[in-house]
Amino acid sequence: MNRVTRLIVSVLIFCFVISGISAQQRSVAAVFPENAQLGTPLTIAVSAPSPDNLTASLVAINGERIGAVSRFFTLSPENPSIQVSITAVPSTAVPGAARIVVKNNSQEIARLPLNIEARSFVSEEIPLNESNTAIRTEPDPQKDRESQILWQILSAAGKEMYSTDAAFILPVESTRRTSFYGDRRVYLYSTGRRDTSIHAGVDFGVPIGTPVKASASGKVVLASPRIVTGNSIVIEHFPGVYSLYYHLDEIHVTEGVMVTIGDMIGLSGSTGLSTGPHLHWEIRAATENADPDAFLARNLLDKDAIISKINGLSAE
Ligand SMILES: [Zn+2]
């Protein structure tokens, strides 16, 4: 090689290295959808150089964090650089402009705007008889243990994607809903006192013995009687995302088994704190109560959409 050729080759190598470094150092992120309501589940996708400990949090315009911090997992083995996280806008968040902050360890690597739309919720008063009042108000170490066990399950750092279903399905055929997601409840105790609560799921008024189906494929991570929620089933679908089925008359699955979307997992009932036969169906994402209906309408892990969006942003 003469001097000129050597120079050209050196410059080309230099440019190649520089472009490689800048491509490598750039983090890109996207959120689906960009306009959310209270309760809307969010899919956050990130492609970052050397991601080590990625987390996402929803932050209000005043800088306060809203709700839980969510972790990330690999979308698919074919695309190891794309990490996703699923969370939900809490039903108690203040509507308006917000943002999602993605961090790698403690360093902020991406910031995504999110508009949270207002939404109204039903207000309801629920009179409780003596035994239901006791379930809610009397201290009980067993009740505390059950809460701890459920919290450990819902906050665990899962890695497996058990569900590749396009969307979730309703757990019962009935469309008769007796309570809705986010209902602002006032419990009227038999003692004359009262307490407030927010309904975390959807209640279907169905007769005792109605077959209950798995809303999506997954692994049964809880199948046992509980004091407040009666006979209960929890299914893990993908990291941080669980469906919950309460007040069952019979449980037909055991912890650890895999279920397929639509499988019959038990029969509805009225066990635990219940004022009549119904199925309580709830979905948690990163420990937050998400609006279950949003899971019926949309595939939260739409690989084609996520990969093309991230690849498009990377190419910009
Ligand atoms: Zn309920």
The residue out of 82, 102, 119 marking a domain boundary is 119
In 3D space, the residue among 283, 282, 244, 284 whose CA is nearest the CA of residue 266 turns out to be: 244
Q: Residues 112, 139: one domain?
A: no
pLDDT of residue 80: 87
Domain count, the chain: 2
Residues around ligand 1, an ion, CB closer than 5 A: 203, 280
Q: In this structure, what DSSP letter does residue 192 have?
A: S
Expressed as residue numbers, the domain containing 232 is: 123-285
Q: Residues 281, 188: one domain?
A: yes
Tens of pLDDT along the chain (316 residues) come to 566 666 555 555 444 444 444 445 689 999 999 999 999 999 999 998 888 899 999 999 888 999 899 999 999 888 889 999 999 999 999 999 999 999 999 999 999 999 999 999 999 999 999 999 998 899 999 999 999 999 999 999 888 999 988 899 999 998 899 999 999 998 999 999 999 999 999 999 999 999 999 999 999 999 999 999 999 999 999 999 999 999 999 999 999 999 999 999 999 999 999 999 999 999 999 999 999 999 999 999 999 999 999 999 988 8
How many angstroms does the Cα of residue 48 sit away from the middle of ligand 1?
40
How many angstroms does the Cα of residue 50 sit away from the middle of ligand 1?
43
Q: Residues 101, 221: one domain?
A: no
CATH code where residue 202 lies: 2.70.70.10
Strand (E) or helix (H) holding 134 = helix 130-137
Q: What is the largest CA-CA distance in the chain?
A: 97
Within a domain: residue 305?
Answer: no
- Partnered with residue 73 across adjacent β-strands are 84
Within a domain: residue 311?
Answer: no
Within a domain: residue 25?
Answer: yes
Q: Residues 76, 214: one domain?
A: no
Within a domain: residue 263?
Answer: yes
The residue out of 119, 135, 165 marking a domain boundary is 119
Q: State the pTM of this model.
A: 0.90
Q: Residues 89, 192: one domain?
A: no
